[in-house]
Structure 1
Amino acid sequence: MSDVCCGPDPDRTGGGTAEQPDDGPDRLWRVRELQVAAVAAVLLAGALIGGLAGAQERVVDGTQLVAAVVAASCFVPGALRGLRHGRVGVGLLMTIAAVGAVALGQFAEAALLGVLFSIAEGLERYTVGRTRRGLRALLGLVPPTASVLRDGREVTVSPDDLGVGDALVLRPGERAATDGRIRTGRTSLDLAAITGESVPVEAGPGDDVFAGAINGGSAIEVEVTAPAADSSLARIVHVVEQARERKGAGQRLADRIARPLVPAIMVLAALVAGLGTLFGDDPMAWVERALVVLVAASPCALAISVPLTVVAAVGAASRQGALVKGGAALEELGRVRAVALDKTGTLTRNRPEVVGVLTTGAADRREVVALAAALEARSEHPLARAVLAETDSPTGVGPDDGPGFRPADDVTAVPGNGVTGTSDGAALRLGRPGWIDPGPLADEVAQLQVAGATVVLLERDGTLLGAIAVRDELRPEAAEAVARIRDLGIDVAMLTGDNPRTAATLAGQAGIGTVHAGLRPTDKAGLLAPIARGRPIAMVGDGVNDAPALATADVGIAMGAMGTDVAIETADVALMGEDLRHLPRTLDHARRSRRIMLQNVGGSLAIIGVLVPLATVGVLGLATVVVIHEAAEVLVILNALRAARTRPDPGLGTAVAAPAGDRQVSVGDGPCCAPAPRRASHRART
């Protein structure tokens, strides 16, 4: 139950050494607490039947006492161990109440208290164990054996024996035993169990393959890039298990209430017994009333209300391809009322392509592309990759003549503007309009920007040579995802370092009205407060170049984080899949889970608020309070289980048509580049 409620072993709930999580029994009838409760319940029922049948009072009382002792064996030893270590919890309150009831001769009430409390403990243990097993079952996606090529022969080995650099053979229908990169062959990969997306992705040489992925096409050869113990799948399980220990605001509130409440209850019970004995007619009646107060005010349901919901909700989110870093992130995500979306890699595919090349009389097309590639040769920026890819195209510099360029010297990045360098003694600059004057190309550059392209200008020794237009296609599901976020009552804004015209075009296609363009990374962080207007806000980016904004937002969400260590470790929430519709689904799940938390906390406090006064004035007896109190705990457990349920999203299993606003751009003698097929590459973005 948390460190306030003593379960079967209090050492497992606080202050102990780190252990492998106990997943508990996989069947309800195998839970020890429930087995003990069943035995005690049978004894209690036998005693009650015997009493009705006229059995001797001594036999009936003895059977009831045995039932009480059997039921108490689930929580009394743990409560005493906790007391020895200075921990005062609900288990101790139940122990005092049970011992007091036995001392007063109320054997049936003591047995009933023990039976119901043990049932609640057992249900909690089973529920937590089930959610842990559901998460750890992800590791079951790793096959027991793997085929590798060693010394020219194919051999079968255990996944634990795989080493970095091994050549893994993956046949149709087989699962990948660990992470790797395709060497030879083309196929389709089913990542549904990992990312939650049921549409297979096309993959070929150079693309990543993740542990648990199913090869849905032809046989491929994969170079192992990580041991099985460090695979993306293993990291997911590790991160989510760590997340269970992180407490959210609601859980901290429940703890703040429950911790002082336990000793306060003991003081209240002592006052009821003491003052009643001094001023009342029947001292034993006041002692009994004090025991009733002790049970009525026990914050057991309050103590488990939030952590149990968090465990269930985080586990359910992970099965949908969303890593939520514990209760704090879950609660903040459920409170979000504004979302800021980065453009590149979030709203767009993050696969920019050259869609146009403009030239002046000072250079031809081949020279413009070659000099731009010379400056970008060692850059990992997406725009740089697009320029370099153009050198290998039929209309580019051309692979037949070699690379067609030599990397420039003294290359220096100018943040937010572009790059500078030298080639054959000439000073080169490549960057955005404004930093470089577009001069005679101004009108054509403006047309490209209106069409949604990003334009960079090339200058040599102060003379404009030309411009290269690059466009990153909008994700086909972006408009639908934005609409669904708005349906949740959440405002959406787009933040980008791109020029305002390109940003406005893409935002219009996605259905976003609030656009902030021409931003540096630090500018994005500063804009979050004005966008939020005092409301909780989430920033959605790639987890690397949006780090300042992700850290500033109430919730940082990394998009397409599968296989990206930095994104998984730095973001509060990491969406493993590339489909943007995961975002509204995760937001909806978090909002629903937060409502369940609030219901549990409010209901638990209401039960205590009603039972304590009634118990204090003697309206309710011990048996009635025990039944109501433990029934409330069971209801909290059942309500928390609702957070483990996931709602099906048929849209994530279907292809999405490209938005009507998507069109190819062709200016000057640049080629029309059709959108590339969706691939399985999820490399870290810079």
Structure 2
Amino acid sequence: MTKKQKKMLKRIIATSILYAVAVILKHATTLPSEALFAAFLIPYVLISYDVLIKSVKNIQNGQVFDENFLMALASIGALVLGEYSEAVAVMLFYQIGEWFQSYAVNKSRKSIAALMDIRPEYANIEVDGKIEQVDPEEVRVGQTIVINPGERVPLDGTVEKGQSSLDTSALTGESVPRSVRAGSEVISGCINQAGVLYVKVSKPYEDSTVAKILDLVENATNKKSKSEQFITKFARIYTPVVVFLALALAVIPSLVDGQWSVWVYRSLSFLVTSCPCALVISVPLSFFGGIGGASRKGILVKGSNYLQLLSEVKTIVFDKTGTITKGNFQVTEVQAVGMSREALLDLAAKAESHSTHPIALSIQKAAAPDLSLADVHDIQEVAGHGVKAIVGKQTVCIGNQKLMAQQGIDALPEGNGFGTCVYVSVDGRYAGMIEIADEIKEDSKTAIDLLRHYGVRKFVMLTGDSEQVAKKVAGKVGIDEVHAQLLPDQKVALLDQILAQKEGKDKVAFVGDGINDAPVLTQADVGIAMGGLGSDAAIEAADIVLMEDQLSQIVVAMQISKKTLRIVYENIVFALAIKVVILVLAALGITNMWAAVFADVGVSFLAILNAMRALRVDKIK
């Protein structure tokens, strides 16, 4: 509980005691009206002074029609009419509702605050043999920092010396530690659990993983959902309308029957009832809770608008490598023509020596470890086809069927059908085939089955891999539609077609690894980046970033999205229904100020309690 909340709670308790004393004096004694007025005025001023001051300031600034104005007008009107008890009750219960709102917001902020704890306070650098603590922003790229056991990694870098395990739970929600040693990359925000690590800094603080995540989360609530935008516009129109209706209710009937005190009291009850607190508070709080709950599960949502859009997704388009499959390629078969298996691998590895593509890395790994690259030059990458290079005096091409077709080579052999076939030619002659297999993630099929349960109707795969491999993978996990052997611009064109074919308010999500899928991630209604841990491209391009490289996190995100929207709609329907009923009853004189207080504070309190449910993330069902 904050100091402000504690202070407010003391005011509420003191006011409640004074109000109880005043009620007892009213019913148990025969005090003169002036003394009775003073007995109620003291608790009234104690509980309402801040509301009265705010309403005056807002009027001076031209912001007349807000909840402070409504409460001030209704309570002062009740005092003037001699309804002292109702005047104090209106303010007392309004402040109780405000206190619970503050408490709920503070609780939902704590889930975000837990993520904010990843902000590093200092970095250790070695100066003249001594360790000094400096601000992480002062550390330059290339400097070596020292991370002791129990300390948070302040900056991204590469381990130069030492061995340890890192707790990444603050970033990913995953409790299993990650082992690191010399050569391993580490990212800021993790906690060093065991040995001392010496890390060479690779990025300045402002470009580090922790800085990007903090910026993303801190700005997440700036992008309002359609529901929040509606409530904001609704409140701007609704509040002045009900004020004028209340004025009409007070004046017009009174001119007919002359019962001014009766109709003014009814109009004041009408005003208290009409306060839109329940909607204005609970709807943003629900989305805030949803974003906070998601962050605790390692799911970063860039705005409540994306949380709402995710609940409307009916088509999900997937990349294959690194999304549905692990992206851990291994050479499973080598067919060489006119040379040994080892010689073919060495030629291919030399041609692919400058590439960081997973397929290229797997070939490099399978080749001789001490491979000399002195005779490799003029390496050219042919987008969507493969690589050309001069190795010694030979022109080596390594890539797919399209690249071989450019060499006039056809009738190529196939592998076992599950791996990716890479073909090699030397000086325009076919030299062999290397098959590289990828492994499907354990949770891919289960995740897609669960997404169907959550209302997703269509699943599409867009991949640059061969059609045979793509269809095999799609069949294993249950994807309906497959488009293979695509260049990056073809992926964009196909996603355009899918977006054009969607029905009504249905949305399309694209799921990729966030490194080479930036164009389609930004193009989709909702871009979801898999395994965003340490990936700048993922954090920049996607609307939702899954810090763990697991497809099942999309199910969790969908579950949070739908639960949050369900809570939002429950609050809107509940609040409006109760208010409409009480407004009608207040206008007819069937209810009094106490019912109006319930319609305002009571409904707000119940809506806030309901909104707080968004913080709790249920298990996947």
Q: Residue 489 of structure 1 aligns to which amino acid in structure 2? A: G
User: TM-score, normalised on structure 1?
Assistant: 0.82
Match of 1:436 among 371, 396, 404: 404
Distance 1:126 1:155 in 2: 40
What corresponds to 2:539 in structure 1? Answer: 568
1:360-399 residue pairs with structure 2 within 5 A? 360-361=337-338, 363-390=339-366, 396-399=367-370
Give the AA of the match of 1:529: L
Consecutive unaligned residues in structure 1, runs of 5 or more: 1-24, 391-395, 652-686
Report deviation, 1:106.
1.5
Distance in 2 between residues matched to 1:196 and 1:86, nearest whole Å: 46
My pick for the range that moved more, 188-197 or 592-601, is: 188-197
Choose which of 437, 445, 450 in structure 2 pairs with 1:484: 450
Residue by residue, what CA displacement relative to the aligned partner does 1:562-583 show, whole Å, maximum 9, x if unpaired?
2222321221111111233222
Query: Conserved in 2, the CA contact under 8 Å of 1:481 and 1:580?
Result: yes
Instruction: Work out the CA distance in 2 between the residues paired with 1:128 and 1:463.
Output: 69
The match for 1:176 is: 153
Q: What's the counterpart of residue 282 of structure 2?
A: 305
CA contact (8 A) 1:47 1:61 kept: no
Match of 1:81 among 35, 57, 73: 57
Report 1:228-243 matches (<5 A). 231-243=208-220
Match of 1:351 among 323, 328, 331: 328
Question: Which residue identity lines up with residue 414 of structure 2 in the other structure?
Answer: A
Q: Mean Cα displacement is larger for which, 434-443 or 272-281? A: 434-443
1:257-313: CA deviation from partner (whole Å, max 9, x where unpaired): 111001111111121122112212312221222212212222111111211111111
Contact 1:493 1:531 (C-alpha < 8 Å) held by counterparts? no
Amino acid at match of 1:446: E
Residue 442 (structure 1) shift: 5.0
Q: Are residues 1:135 and 2:112 paired?
A: yes
Tell me the secondary structure at the aligned position of residue 310 of structure 2: helix
Write the letter of the residue equivalent to 2:191.
Answer: I
Residue 500 of structure 1 deviates from its aligned partner by: 1.5
Instruction: Find out whether 1:408 has 2:377 as its counterpart.
Output: yes
The one-letter amino acid of 1:138's match is L
Amino acid at match of 1:476: E
Q: CA shift at 1:499, angstroms?
A: 1.0
The equivalent of 1:17 in structure 2 is none
Mean Cα deviation higher: 159-168 or 126-135: 159-168
Residue type matched to 1:490 in 2?
Answer: V
Which residue in 1 is equivalent to 2:144? 167
Partner of 1:12: none
Q: Which amino acid aligns with 2:398?
A: L
Q: Specify the SS of the correspondent of 1:385.
A: helix
CA contact (8 A) 1:374 1:408 kept: no
User: Is this contact kept in 1: 2:409–2:430, CA < 8 A?
Assistant: no
Amino acid at match of 2:598: V
Counterpart Cα distance in 2 of 1:68 and 1:507: 68
Aligned to 1:342: 319
Q: 1:455 aligns with which of 415, 421, 426?
A: 421
Please give the alpha-carbon distance, in whole angstroms, between the structure 2 residues aligned to 1:349 and 1:149.
39
Inter-CA distance 511–151: structure 2 relative to 1 (3 Å threshold): farther
In the alignment, the residues of structure 2 paired with residue 125 and residue 406 of structure 1 have an alpha-carbon distance, to the nearest angstrom, of 69
In structure 2, give the amino acid aligned to 1:116. Answer: F
Cα separation, 2, equivalents of 1:416 and 1:161: 42
Give the structure 2 partner of residue 554 of structure 1.
525
2 CA distance for matches of 1:240 and 1:406? 49
1:597-633 alpha-carbon deviations (Å, 9 max, x no partner): 1111111221222122212222111222112321000
Q: Secondary structure of the equivalent of 1:30? A: helix
Secondary structure, in 3 states, of the residue corresponding to 1:68?
A: helix
Query: How far apart, in 2, do the equivalents of 1:236 and 1:73 lie?
Result: 41
Distance in 1 between the 2:342 and 2:320 partners?
Answer: 30
Q: Which residue of the other structure, out of 1, 5, 9, is the alignment partner of 1:34? A: 9
The answer on whether the counterparts of 1:75 and 1:118 sit within 8 Å (CA) in structure 2 is: no
User: Equivalent residue of 1:73, what SS?
Assistant: helix
Q: Hey, what does 2:227 align to over in structure 1?
A: 250
Write the distance in 2 (CA, Å) between the matches of 1:601 and 1:644.
Answer: 18
CA shift digits 1:523-547 (9 cap, x unpaired):
4423533785553222111223222
SS of structure 2 residue aligned to 1:355: strand
1:590: how far off?
A: 1.3
Q: What are the ranges of 5 or more consecutive residues in structure 2 without an aligned counterpart?
A: none
Identify the range of structure 1 (68-77 vs 510-519) with the bigger mean alpha-carbon deviation.
Answer: 510-519
What's the offset of the Cα at 1:255?
1.4
Letter in 2 for 1:479: K
Which amino acid is 2:158 matched to? R
Maintained 8 Å contact 1:36/1:74: no
Which residue number corresponds to residue 64 of structure 1? 40
Distance in structure 1 (CA, Å) of the matches to 2:157 and 2:369: 30
TM-score w.r.t. the length of structure 2 is 0.91
The equivalent residue for 2:603 is 632
Q: Which of residues 101, 112, 126 in structure 2 aligns to 1:149?
A: 126
Specify the code of the residue in structure 1 equivalent to 2:256: F
Cα deviation 1:156-208 (Å, max 9, x = unaligned):
55656654434333455544233332123444322122201122233333322
Secondary structure of residue in 2 paired with 1:86: coil
Cα offset, 1:152, TM superposition: 4.1
Displacement of 1:329: 0.7
What's the counterpart of residue 460 of structure 2? 493
Q: Secondary structure, in 3 states, of the residue corresponding to 2:159?
A: strand
Alpha-carbon distance in 2 for matches of 1:51, 1:131: 42
Per-residue deviation, 1:340: 2.1
Partner AA of 2:455 in structure 1? G
CA distance in 1, matches of 2:395, 2:473: 34
- C-alpha deviations, 1:360-403, integer Å up to 9, x for none? 22x4444433443344333333223333333xxxxx2440xx42
Q: CA RMSD in A?
A: 2.8
Quote the residue 1:322 is aligned against: 299
**Conservation of the 8 A alpha-carbon contact between 2:582 and 2:595:** no
Report the secondary structure of 2:326's partner residue: coil
Could you tell me how far apart the structure 1 residues matched to 2:56 and 2:316 are?
49
**C-alpha separation between the residues in 1 aligned to 2:477 and 2:183?**
31
CA contact (8 A) 1:375 1:411 kept: no
In the alignment, which of 385, 408, 416 is matched to residue 417 of structure 1? 385
Aligned length: 613
Q: Distance in 1 between matches of 2:597 and 2:67?
A: 13
Q: Report the secondary structure of 2:532's partner residue.
A: coil
- The 1-side partners of 2:409 and 2:537 are apart by 43
Residue aligning to 1:506: 473
Greater shift in the superposed pair: 85-94 or 381-390: 381-390
Q: CA deviation at 1:642?
A: 0.6
Q: 1:198 to 1:410 in 2, by over 3 A?
A: closer
